[in-house]
Chains A and B, each alone.
Chain A
Amino acid sequence: MLRFILKRLLETIPVLLVIVTATFFMLRLVPGGPFTAEKAVSKEIMQNLEAHYGLDKPLGHQYASYLWDLTPKRFAPWRLFADADGNGTVDFDLQAAFGINLGPSFKYPNRTVNEIIAGKLPASLELGLWALLVALALGITLGVVAAMRKNTGVDYAASTLAMVGICVPTFVMGPLLVLLFALHLRWFNASGWYFAADRVLPAATLGLVYAAYIARLTRGGMLDVLNQDYIRTARAKGASELRVVLRHALRGGLLPVVTFLGPAIAGIISGSFVIETIFQIPGLGREFVNSAFNRDYTLVSGTVLLYAGLIIGLNLVVDVIQVWLNPRLKFE
């Protein structure tokens, strides 16, 4: 298993290199730069701005020095979660932990890309994890119930709910929930990320979509498994229905869900731009999209790289879990 993980980790290096290179050059090919503004900037000022950020150097030179800044120069992962400045927040300091310097932000001159990512990632992760919890709890329960009561009213109700969850986009669901729970019932704030209660509506909105998918996958997986011989054996041995489901059927029934979770988690963490905008959450998704509009070269590259790392890492974790759950798979 260790060899498998190591091999996969080594394979990520060329993948990341390709991603960095493609992002670097594509950004510079797009018309309009970080300092293109509606009001004209004089030639002298533009030259000074470009010189400050090293944009006046040949492209090859810029690329080489960016790659060097990205190259890990030390290995101290524990410092990633340290709180060096003592302000009570996790620093997520890529510089201190690995010596990775993602460069200065062009748009926000008093912040570096490392700091922006460190500041924004926790909100996105937190939203993602709450949403995942909602999705799993709701989705698996609905799916199991629907499978157990196949072709009854309960099954149809659960399946309809799941269908609605898939069909209603988040940008409709979010404002609807706000309208009902924030503006009508006044239980929550309409937007913001200041209090614990502010997590409820965004997590529900994001979680509901994934809950719907998980419910459908769980139902399908469970139906497959419940027809298998070993379930019949378990029932014949007199196991209670609860025990049959929880102990014997769920493990196999959840396999499709686990396969789905890898990309889903990556999507939950990176794709929450819409939710972050509706609820004005200071997450990385909004920062990522805006950085592309701002031509904040370093911030775009930095977030792309981070997302790539996250997706690769999560897929690896999912692969490991799959082998664990499915005795028919082996680490190859």
Chain B
Amino acid sequence: MRTSFLAPLCALLLIGVSLLACGCTKATEPSASAPTPSPKILQFGNGSEPQDLDPHIVTGVTEHNIISALFEGLVTYDASSEGTAPGVAERWVVSPDKLTWTFHLRPDARWSNGDSLTARDFLRSYQRILTPSLGSEYAYKLHHVVGAEEFNQGKLTDFTQTGFCAPDDHTLVLRLKHPVPYLLEALKHYSWFPVHLPTIAKFGPIDRRGNRWTLPANFVGNGPFMLKTWLPNQVITVECSPTYRGAFHPLLDGIAFYAVDSNDAEERMFRGGQLHVTQSVPLGRIDSYRSQPASPLVIAPYYGTYFYRFNTTRPPLDDARVRRALALAIDRDTIVKNILRAGQEPALHFTPPYAGFTPGEVLHPDLAEARRLLAAAGYPEGRGLRRIEILYNTMESHKVIAEAIQQMWKTGLGVDVALRNEEWKVYLDSQHSLAFDVARAGWIGDYPDPHGFLDLWVSGGGNNDTGYTNPAYDRLLTSALDAPDEAARMSIYRELDSIITRDLPVIPIYFYKRVYLLSPKVRGWASNILDNRGWQYIDLAN
């Protein structure tokens, strides 16, 4: 009782505070290099934390945004973001049979460490992404090239046997299995970007995961910007690369890619002036932004469809009449106007009407026709029909749509509907293993061409997930790539899309819109349907 008990308590607090002080100085140290709103640094809200910055490992949009600043492929976006501009290749030639593409590279192309960038770098990069032991999830994007798929599966081990070759340092030749009319668009994807093999080899085996070459101190790229800092779950900053195309200097001095995984936090940061661009807008804030004068709200077309999959292997959904009845009983206008409220468009067919595609047959929602079909299938007014379950991944926006559709099917057709929500990966697992009746889904195009959407429904396709098989559909799809011209190709896609409208393995619900906030200070911000752009064209007003 003689010594004050306050002494140990004080000591404890002191220890705490000193620990805190030490932790504090240590933790704040990186902030010296963290971005301050210095001239011309674009503050970009980039969604979740990128997995990695290795173009051969990653699979996401977040990563794409950063990688397209750090690397450049054979071709790139033009200033409007709609067209194609020369990248590392300054010009290219296609053979008359459309199977051989020859790219002539810039003789002065350089890596950020000063090494010259040659066709051999491309070859070795393609060999790396296709090497089976790397387990690259997007390697299939190169499978158009002769032998690429076999090499990727380990059936072919000699890379010189594939259709990739480099006759000299500045010429790259791709020999394709079949014509790929959208090849230039596909080449803008990071799976086709070159990586600096000597740098990768310095930090581990080139064909294994878990390599540290993408950390800022080690990084080598060839894009308009180079990696400066990476604070995990905070920010990645990039600055102008002095080696990019000789004298060319991007308009910005740098970009800060913030990993902000909460759209509420992101919106507050935008309001507080910490961000110039956001990924999204919280649903509840859209109306208030819309009513502002000179609103920073952007609502742009986006190349994607929100739809419901049917499990066509399960009765009664194996009956096309039942599927059609359900599809016709959905009032898409109500969903778009009252639930989504951000200018989304009701989808009456599956493939989005962009990139040269115009629909053939479309759905004409009609409750009377829906009831007639259901009765014809043996379920008048829904009698005798078992309960149908809608599966969606746990998220408020999917839930409200599912509830609306549940109500429409119940009141319109007398169909009893249950809802089941599952956590994302459980839901993906259920979907891939066909453990559902009806499942919510979405698809965003990888390149601006209808082929990617219609390729989904090929029999046994990895992303089919409906059990739908139609040999006639498969044959027609294969013939599309051999079509003599673009008009003929598009008319095949129109026919394919019409088959989906007739057979309905899926119900299209709406076409996506990109909804985000953009500061009026940002100049040169172009947007295409994939929401991609070249960072080198963007500027900031002071």
Binding site for B on A (CB under 8 A): 30-33, 35-42, 44-45, 48-49, 52, 88-90, 104, 107-111, 116, 119-120, 122-123, 125-126, 129-130, 132-133, 136, 175, 178-179, 182-183, 186, 189-196, 199, 246-247, 250-251, 277-280, 282, 286-287, 290, 293-295, 321, 324-325, 327
Distance in angstroms from A318 CB to nearest chain B CB is 11
Residues in A whose Cβ lies below 8 Å from that of B232: 108, 111, 116, 119-120, 282
| CB < 8 Å A-B pair total | 189
Q: Is B117 an interface residue (CB 8 A)?
A: no
Once A89-B27, A133-B16 are accepted as A-B contacts, the answer to whether A247 and B4 lie under 8 Å apart by CB is: yes
Distance in angstroms from A125 CB to nearest chain B CB is 6
Contact digits for B414-440, partner A, Cβ 8 Å, 1 yes 0 no: 000000000111111110100000000
Once A30-B426, A280-B262 are accepted as A-B contacts, the answer to whether A195 and B28 lie under 8 Å apart by CB is: yes
CA distance A32 to B54 in the complex (A): 25
What 9 A-B pairs have minimum CB-CB distances, sorted nearest first?
A32-B425, A40-B462, A190-B272, A48-B135, A282-B233, A49-B135, A190-B268, A194-B31, A31-B429
| CB atoms of B139 and A192 under 8 A apart | no
| CB atoms of B268 and A110 under 8 A apart | no
Distance in angstroms from A41 CB to nearest chain B CB is 5
Residues in A whose Cβ lies below 8 Å from that of B476: none
Q: Is B241 an interface residue (CB 8 A)?
A: no
CA distance A250 to B467 in the complex (A): 71
Residues in B whose Cβ lies below 8 Å from that of A183: 268, 271-272
Distance in angstroms from B285 CB to nearest chain A CB is 12
| CB atoms of A31 and B426 under 8 A apart | yes
| CB atoms of A52 and B209 under 8 A apart | yes
CA distance A30 to B461 in the complex (A): 25
CA distance A198 to B360 in the complex (A): 56
Distance in angstroms from A264 CB to nearest chain B CB is 14
B100-108, B210-218, B399-407, B484-492: which one contacts chain A? B210-218
Residues in A whose Cβ lies below 8 Å from that of B52: 108-110
| CB atoms of A37 and B231 under 8 A apart | no
Q: Which of B17, B152, B268, B271 has the most CB of A within 10 A?
A: B268
- Choose from A31, A126, A194 the contact partner of B425 (Cβ within 8 Å): A31
B18-26, B160-168, B185-193, B311-319: which one contacts chain A? B18-26
Once A110-B54, A182-B272 are accepted as A-B contacts, the answer to whether A194 and B16 lie under 8 Å apart by CB is: no
| CB atoms of B231 and A190 under 8 A apart | no
| CB atoms of A88 and B31 under 8 A apart | no
Contact digits for B1-44, partner A, Cβ 8 Å, 1 yes 0 no: 10011101000110011011011101111110010000000000
- Choose from A104, A120, A136 the contact partner of B233 (Cβ within 8 Å): A120
Residues in A whose Cβ lies below 8 Å from that of B426: 30-32
CA distance A191 to B51 in the complex (A): 22
> What are 19 A-B interface contacts by the 8 Å CB criterion?
A30-B425, A31-B430, A32-B426, A37-B137, A42-B140, A45-B139, A90-B26, A109-B52, A110-B211, A111-B232, A122-B23, A186-B272, A199-B24, A277-B261, A278-B265, A293-B423, A294-B425, A295-B425, A324-B8
CA distance A110 to B51 in the complex (A): 8
Closest to B261 in A: A277
| CB atoms of B16 and A132 under 8 A apart | yes
Q: Is B356 an interface residue (CB 8 A)?
A: no
Residues in B whose Cβ lies below 8 Å from that of A44: 132, 152-154
Residues in B whose Cβ lies below 8 Å from that of A290: 261
CA distance A290 to B461 in the complex (A): 30
Q: Is B463 an interface residue (CB 8 A)?
A: yes
Closest to A171 in B: B264
Residues in B whose Cβ lies below 8 Å from that of A287: 233
CA distance A40 to B24 in the complex (A): 44
Closest to B152 in A: A44
Closest to A39 in B: B463
Closest to B433 in A: A31
CA distance A199 to B23 in the complex (A): 12
CA distance A315 to B100 in the complex (A): 70
Closest to A195 in B: B31
Residues in B whose Cβ lies below 8 Å from that of A108: 49, 51-52, 232
Residues in B whose Cβ lies below 8 Å from that of A295: 425
| CB atoms of A109 and B51 under 8 A apart | yes
Once A108-B51, A182-B272, A183-B268 are accepted as A-B contacts, the answer to whether A133 and B233 lie under 8 Å apart by CB is: no
Once A109-B52, A280-B260 are accepted as A-B contacts, the answer to whether A191 and B265 lie under 8 Å apart by CB is: yes
| CB atoms of B24 and A109 under 8 A apart | no
| CB atoms of B268 and A133 under 8 A apart | no
Contact digits for B133-159, partner A, Cβ 8 Å, 1 yes 0 no: 111110110000000000011100000
Q: Is B234 an interface residue (CB 8 A)?
A: yes
Closest to A89 in B: B26
